[in-house]
Amino acid sequence: MLAATLGVRDYLDRVCEEIRRIDVAQLENLAALIEAAYRDGRTVFVIGNGGSAANASHLCEDLNKGILRDFESQRRLRVLSLTDNTAGIMAWANDEGYDRVFIEQLKTYGAPGDLLLAISGSGNSPNVLRAVEWANDTGMTTLGITGYSGGTLRQLAQHSLHCPLDDMGTVESLHMVAFHWLIGDLYRRISGPVAEGQGA
């Protein structure tokens, strides 16, 4: 845990250093995949556990609203965070096992050509891996968003956004930094440029 071993200035400096290590080609590829899903009328699904579940919810909310200029007439991105169906998650976890909480939702909603964004700091969460395996077999596009070594997810997913750092909290923060750039870039791609001095 970096924050337990570093003072505040050293910690913030380290976070800035890790931000600069984010692979911009991987991040640009993520933007292109989401734009393609939007253009093709496909659904984007987001999954994760713990802090990554919170990031999945946050990313879903931003993709739902933050890439639009015209809320009344602009076509929406079909995006769903599978972390937010609390009753459904608890039913599957209680009756069949926690490793099935995402795959069973994908069986209901997913289709070939859809996009699955799987967030796992370790890359080894069984429920995430099962969902990615099913999505691959079903003809969906899969992208793993990872930290540490990337674990099994980095190898299993078709595409990757990897932050190679052995600190869960900082990895989750790096993911959100990347996601906030992503939203701005998708706004530009889908809604057009922002006028100078104006926010999206």
pLDDT of residue 14 exceeding 90, the answer is yes
Within a domain: 198: no
Q: Does pTM surpass 0.75?
A: yes
Residue 197, domain member (yes or no)? no
Domain for residue 137, yes or no? yes
Confidence class for position 2, pLDDT limits 50, 70, 90: confident
Decide if 196 is inside a domain.
Answer: no
Q: Residue 105's pLDDT is what? A: 98
CB atoms within 10 A of CB 66: 17
Instruction: Decide if 199 is inside a domain.
Output: no
Residues 15-34 have pLDDT tens digits of 999 999 999 999 999 999 99
> What tens digit of pLDDT does each residue of 39-86 get?
999 999 999 999 999 999 999 999 999 999 999 999 999 999 999 999
67 closest CA partner among 196, 177, 194:
194
The amino acid at residue 100 is R
What total number of domains does the chain contain? 1
Q: Which two tokens stand for residue 67?
A: 């890439």
Query: Distance (Å, rounded) from C-alpha 139 to C-alpha 42?
Result: 12
Q: Which CATH number fits the domain that encloses residue 93?
A: 3.40.50.10490
In-domain check, residue 48: yes
Domain housing 99: 2-191
Q: In the prediction, which pLDDT does 138 show?
A: 98
Q: What does pLDDT average to over the chain?
A: 96
Long-range contacts of 124-129 (CB under 8 A, 24+ apart): 124/151, 124/152, 124/153, 125/48, 125/49, 125/153, 126/98, 126/99, 127/47, 127/49, 127/98, 127/99, 127/100, 127/101, 127/102, 127/103, 128/47, 128/48, 128/49, 128/102, 128/153, 129/153, 129/156
Report how far apart, in Å, the C-alpha atoms of 194 and of each of 67, 177, 188, 197 are: 11, 20, 7, 8
